């Protein structure tokens, strides 16, 4: 490399260094930024695998579900007057109609976990909370007790438990504890065991008792 080439290389290196400092980055000898060096990227879960479900498959899965089967049988006979939601069967598929404008496919149990995973765990899902995930799914689907299922699914998310900032859960309010000033008015009891080896009489547990006022202890084997 000639002198001019070396000079241009040094200039380019200085410009890269200024660009790095301007954005608050720091590079090490491996060419990694501070963020890349300190934090490993999260593992993005793969899109859940599921076979394609067409109209005939959906009708068959709904017919195999006992709850949806009952909803389909009562869809034509139920009284809809004054109701905000009711069941409807159209072209063999059972729907839930809400406010006369939103038509939701009633999902059989075999498809619910797949829909929850696609709506929440994928890159486009965004790991939303319980309320937003419920609203997102209810725009197209419905099934009985879906809010309870979605609440359990969101709270059991492994990625959210590892990454959500701590301290967001409110603390239980403190209350005054009454002072016990009379001996043996209130006692605390606990059972200790099993103990190895057992006592002479073969007993393996000890019943302990402590008085709240005097802290007098007692134990029975």
Per-residue pLDDT tens over the stretch 25-61: 444 444 444 444 445 555 555 556 666 788 888 888 8
Q: E strands within the chain?
A: 85-90, 93-98, 102-106, 141-142, 187-192, 206-211, 217-220
- Band of residue 176 on the pLDDT scale cut at 50, 70, 90: confident
Q: Note whether 154 and 74 are same-domain residues.
A: yes
Question: In this model, does residue 210 exceed pLDDT 90?
Answer: yes
| pLDDT tens-digit map of 107-117 | 998 888 888 88
- Regarding whether 144 and 99 lie in a shared domain, the answer is yes
CA–CA gap between residue 190 and residue 69 (Å, rounded)? 52
Report pTM. Answer: 0.51
Residue 101 has pLDDT above 80, yes or no: no
Q: What is the pLDDT of residue 30?
A: 44
At 201, list the tokens.
């009489």
Residue 166 lies inside a defined structural domain of this protein: no
| Rounded average pLDDT over 156-172 | 74
> What's the mean pLDDT in 137-163?
87
Is 174 domain-assigned? Answer: no
Domain that holds residue 65: 55-159
136 has a pLDDT exceeding 50 = yes
């Amino acid at each position: 490399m000639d002198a001019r080439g070396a000079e241009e290389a040094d200039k380019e290196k200085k410009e890269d260094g200024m660009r790095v400092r301007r954005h608050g980055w720091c590079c090490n000898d491996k060419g990694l930024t501070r963020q890349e060096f300190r934090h490993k990227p999260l593992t993005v879960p793969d899109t859940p695998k599921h076979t394609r479900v067409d109209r005939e498959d959906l009708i068959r899965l709904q017919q195999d579900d006992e709850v949806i089967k009952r909803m389909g049988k009562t869809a034509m006979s139920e009284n809809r007057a004054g109701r905000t939601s009711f069941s409807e069967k159209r072209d063999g598929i059972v729907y839930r109609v809400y406010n006369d404008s939103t038509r939701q496919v009633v999902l059989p149990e075999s498809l619910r976990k797949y829909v929850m995973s696609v709506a929440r765990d994928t890159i486009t899902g965004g790991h939303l909370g319980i309320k937003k995930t419920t609203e997102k799914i209810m725009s197209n689907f419905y099934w009985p007790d879906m809010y309870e299922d979605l609440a359990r699914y969101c709270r059991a998310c492994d990625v959210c438990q590892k990454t959500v900032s701590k301290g967001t859960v409110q603390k239980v309010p403190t209350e005054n504890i009454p002072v016990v000033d009379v001996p043996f008015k209130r006692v605390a009891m606990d059972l200790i065991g099993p103990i190895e080896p057992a006592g002479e009489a073969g007993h393996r547990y000890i019943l302990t008792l402590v008085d709240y006022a005097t802290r007098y202890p007692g134990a029975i084997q």
